Structure 1
Amino acid sequence: MREATLADKELVVDILTESFQDNQSVNYLIPNDRRKSARIRALMDYSYETCKLFGKVYVSEDKKGCALVSFPERKKTTLKSLLLEVKLILSAIGLGNISKAVNREKEISKNYPSSNIYYLWFIGVATESQNNGVGGKLMTELLMEAKRMERPLYLETSTLKNIPWYRKFGLNVYNQLDFGYTLFLIRNDQ
């Protein structure tokens, strides 16, 4: 894997938009209207930009997979981050879902340790390349980087069938939250 460049942005946003169309956690915040796909794309654009500011964005060598990583302690309120959040509200989640988004993030973050973490926000593989080892190679490399940085890796999933896949990499569910769907909180035990 390599760090994404500006030239990779559309590719990353495309992969994640396609990968998360039916994801319960994403759809919890995205209004289910005729603009749903465009809204998910706007969410992935926001996530990409946020991770470029306060984390890392990775692309697999074959350009079939990607991962967005955040370092929560680096997140700061800047003019750019505020503009990104306004754009997120207007283009993706809508005014009516602001409190839902804020409350969910608050509940999730209560489960993080006070020490620095390696937060895997999104990992996705192009549909035609799924089940071919692309995601596994990415996950292995992400775990190696987290270990090099001496940070535990944390993530969430609302997709039950993904849990056995995460377990193959030594990641385990350590808590569950109910938002009208079950959100599984996962980490590696470093």
Structure 2
Amino acid sequence: MKKATKNDRELVVEILTNSFDENQSVNYIVKPDNKRVKRIRALMAYSFDICTLFGEVYLNEEKTACALIMYPHKKKTTLKAIWLDLMLVVNSIGIGRAGKAMSRETKIKSRYPKEPFYYLWFIGVDRTAQHQGQGSKLLNEVINDAEKQNLTILLETSTLKNIPWYNRFKFEVYDKIEFTYTLFMLKRP
């Protein structure tokens, strides 16, 4: 696993856009119009940029899998962060849906622990490399990174079939939230 650079941004955005194209949670946030895929791409670009500011972006050695890590306890209000948030609303969520997105985020954050944690925001594998163990290998490396920092890993998924995969890595569902879909909140101490 290696840290992604700004030069890897488009590759990471492409992997995540394809990986999360049909994801219920992502499609709940992005404006559902004829620019939906472009809006998902904007969400993933935003996520990359935020993680480079307040977390890490990792790629596997083959550059076919990526993970976006956030450290919520390190996030600060800066002009850059405010600008990125505004661009997310304009380019992905849509101004009329901003309240819905903020309400969703408030519900999710209310269930986070008070102590620092390692937030696995997104993990994705290029479609041509899926089902070859690359996501599992990257997730193991992410787990090792969190253990070195002595931090609990948190993540959410709206994809029911992903839960057994996370369970194999000792993640447990600790909560769930009902939207127009069920969002499962998982942690690995």
Both structures adopt the same fold (TM-score exceeding 0.5): yes
1:35-60: CA deviations, max 9, x gaps? 00000000000000000000000011
Q: Tell me the SS of whatever aligns to 1:111.
A: coil
Q: How does 1:145-164 map to 2 (within 5 A)?
A: 145-164=145-164
Q: Tell me the SS of whatever aligns to 1:69.
A: strand
Deviation at 1:100, TM superposition (A): 1.1
Q: Tell me the SS of whatever aligns to 1:124.
A: strand
* % identical equivalent positions: 49
Matching residue's letter, 2:146 = A
1:32-85: CA deviations, max 9, x gaps? 111000000000000000000000000110000000000001111111001101
Quote the Cα distance in structure 1 between the aligned partners of 2:4 and 2:73.
21
Quote the Cα distance in structure 1 between the aligned partners of 2:113 and 2:78.
25
1:119-139: CA deviations, max 9, x gaps? 000000001111101100011
Quote the Cα distance in structure 1 between the aligned partners of 2:91 and 2:103.
20
Q: Tell me the SS of whatever aligns to 2:62.
A: coil
Q: Give the match for residue 15 of structure 1.
A: 15
Q: How does 1:8-157 map to 2 (within 5 A)?
A: 8-157=8-157
1:92-128: CA deviations, max 9, x gaps? 0001111111111111111111110000000000011
Moved over 2 A (4+): none
Q: How many residue pairs align between the two structures?
A: 189
Q: Tell me the SS of whatever aligns to 2:131.
A: coil
Q: TM (normalized to structure 1)? A: 0.98
Q: Give the match for residue 165 of structure 1.
A: 165
Quote the Cα distance in structure 1 between the aligned partners of 2:81 and 2:117.
20
RMSD (Å) for aligned C-alpha atoms:
0.6
Gaps of 5+ in 1: none
